[in-house]
Chains A and B, each alone.
Chain A
Amino acid sequence: MSAETLYPLQNGIGNMVRSLFPETAFIINPALGLISVVILVSILAAFLILLERKVVAHFQVRLGPMRVGYHGILQPLADGIKLLFKEILKPKGADSFTFFLAPMLPLTATFLIMVIMPFDHHLQLVDPAGGVLYVLGISGLTVLGILLGGWSSNNKLSLLGAMRSGAQMISFEISLALIMLLIVMLSGTASLRGIVLSQQGLIFDWWIFKLPFLGILSFIMYLVASTAELNRTPFDLAEAESELTAGYHTEYSGMGFAMFFFAEFVNMFISAGLATTFFLGGFHPPLIGISAVDGLLNIIPGFLWFFGKTFFIVFVYMWFRWTFPRVRIDQLMSLEWKMMLPANLLLLILGAVFMVLGWA
């Protein structure tokens, strides 16, 4: 039986609201959706910041935050309060409107993408047919925010950081898009839910394994390209504290900085979530074909699988960040334009050949 018939797209809460308040359901349902996304993003941001601090602490053989709450669990709250009370400064000569608009754009982008993340069979707010296109389009907002923030700060180091970031993110988005295109081509759909459902079955039906060795290769390339897209080490040239002090957000304080920061962290989750969706079977459990084991794996709900895989990728991003030095801007650009882009084009052709031959 096909996945669509097994798990037809239905909305339990939405149906309930519609039956209880038939008149105002068209307002209540979107409002509920928005509230849930807001809650999810804020919890995720706080959790990821704590996670990063704990992971780096263990990489660096130290404890990390330990004082606020059990094992520093309330530390994000303390950070948040601190950031709220910090004075918001604007450098002399900065372009006020742009300067304060800029940090909102990346944060907006994270909300907009969160809306179409397929967390589980029925845990997805909307599933547009062109989900992949939507993701690529929206992620441009992050670049825009960073560019505007750096440009309007009236600081040459910020401007350099913003220019670097713009060049870097736009270039690597091409690679990212090509890798996504490969998966879209293989699964025959551009909807994120459709891509997940196309990987239904055993663990070997996930795109990372199903495509003979090209799957793992393109997964690694996705990791590289998305790390660059996220501006994280070894590609954190936009911030590059040793060269540009803090790059595009040098002049931001308090909540302005926090918005950039939150966006960066939630974007990391989104990138990892997309990796899960595209390569690791999304919310599907890693079935191995032995019914006893598979029965147990099937008991665990899909969203737990999704979060488990996603946080594993998040951990890999953190692993990169705390062990690698930073590349130089010209090395970064030559990596994209001279290696990743040709390799991706080749990959696309090979993927097509595999499809025609029926191997994938």
Chain B
Amino acid sequence: MTTQSAKKYRLDGDTLPEGFRLPQSDTEDADEFFVNIGPQHPSTHGVLRIVARLSGETIVEAVPHLGYIHRGIEKMAENQTYIQNIHLTDRLDYLSAFFNNLCFCMAVEQAMDIGVPERGEYLRVMVCELQRIQSHLLWWGVMGMDLGGFTPFLYGFREREMITDIFEEMCGARLTMNFFRPGGSSFDAPDTFVPRIKKFIKIMYKALDEYHTLLTGNIIFQERTRGVGVLSREDVLSYGCSGAVLRASDVSYDIRKNDAYSIYDQFDFDIPSCTEGDSLARYQIKMEEIVQSLRILEQAVEKFPEGPYRSQPKAVYKLPQGSYYSQVETPRGLFGTYIVSDGGPKPYRVKYRSPNFSNLSALNHAAKGLKLADLVTIMSSMDFVIPDMDK
């Protein structure tokens, strides 16, 4: 594509930044060229930059470049008290803000040996499962949009809005919710909490049927996702993937079952898993997870107990010297918090283990040799949230 104007502007490969370089014209790779997907691109879901080396429409290599949203949250954590740190966690993965809050609080609870009252635990499970559905609804809509159908995007938002309203009434925020505290939560649930969830469960089952009619059953959708971005059992394990990416490749591992936290062991639910490891399998897992979350919610609203929602420990937390780790199952997979304390009111070091970062590392492997459009399919089936991987 060297035109007259390309010569005029010296687009010859030497004057361009890295990633834009064209291969030497006398090599075998002369037909290959680089295309930047992102950092601002409709299907990178944030500021992810992927430098794709293409041969025609075929991906030779897709290398993610991070650093466009880096805010140094782990460094900031060292200058904030433990309570102040909770609000930083919900900026990590804003679609699983409650999970991140919870994970940090659980690490503090573990260090200080703080218990949580039963109502508080129920609140945690219900809020987290609601948010899992909320996150999956956004993912479902976005996946439809990434595959070229705009209508699913708005349908997903329609039901998501109901959950967002519940959250808004509960803690005032609609996206970066800052709700959990060591020993429970900052507020009690409002009176409308349970009726609203009951109403939502009813509507959501019907909506799911509609979703399956609109997208899952569509032949084009199935052709676009079946066999696309296959990751084997060995691949997902070696890349450290988690969440639906892991479970779609025949590894039935979920923190809620395998390392049960909170009161998840009291609920009856299944962990869906598939063997195919392709984008369709990841899609099906996530859709099934919505159903399972609804099941948990159904059980929880029936048994939602009265009583205190928070044990009242002292307001300033000073964690005893040592290191503490806690992990939760977010909508995207395993989220871990590692805190090193020197005994002061602020953590000495905080490290977050985010699910998206390790899932992203499998992207190149999954996309190699496929078409450019498949890269988008794989990215949306893995459900990336960029601030989480680029902390």
Contacts and interface: CB of A to CB of B under 8 A. Distances in A.
A234 B224 CA distance: 12
Contact of B6 (A154, A234, A241, A330): A154
A328 B5 contact: no
Given A61-B158, A243-B43, A331 B148 contact: no
Interface in B109-157: 144-151, 154-155
A59 interface: yes
B6 A325 contact: no
Interface residues of B, number: 38
B372 A243 contact: yes
Interface in A285-331: 322-331
Contacts of B150: 56, 60, 322
Nearest to A57: B154
Nearest to A239: B148
Contacts of A56: 150-151
Given A95-B3, A327-B220, A242 B146 contact: yes
A154 B149 contact: no
Given A156-B35, A325-B215, A234 B154 contact: no
Contacts of A240: 148, 373
Given A61-B154, A92-B9, A242-B42, A328 B149 contact: no
A341 interface: no
Contacts of A59: 151
Contacts of A323: 149, 151, 214, 218
B376 interface: yes
Contacts of B215: 325
Contact of B149 (A94, A326, A330): A326
B142 to A, nearest CB: 9
A340 interface: no
A122 B208 CA distance: 53
B33 A330 contact: no
B295 to A, nearest CB: 27
A164 B56 CA distance: 10
B371 interface: yes
A159 interface: yes
A251 interface: no
Given A151-B1, A152-B3, A330-B57, 18 more contacts: A56-B151, A95-B5, A160-B57, A160-B372, A234-B148, A236-B148, A237-B373, A240-B148, A240-B373, A242-B43, A245-B41, A245-B42, A322-B150, A324-B218, A325-B221, A326-B148, A328-B371, A331-B224
Interface of B: 1, 3-6, 8-9, 11, 33, 35, 41-43, 57, 144-151, 154-155, 158, 214-215, 218, 220-221, 223-224, 371-376
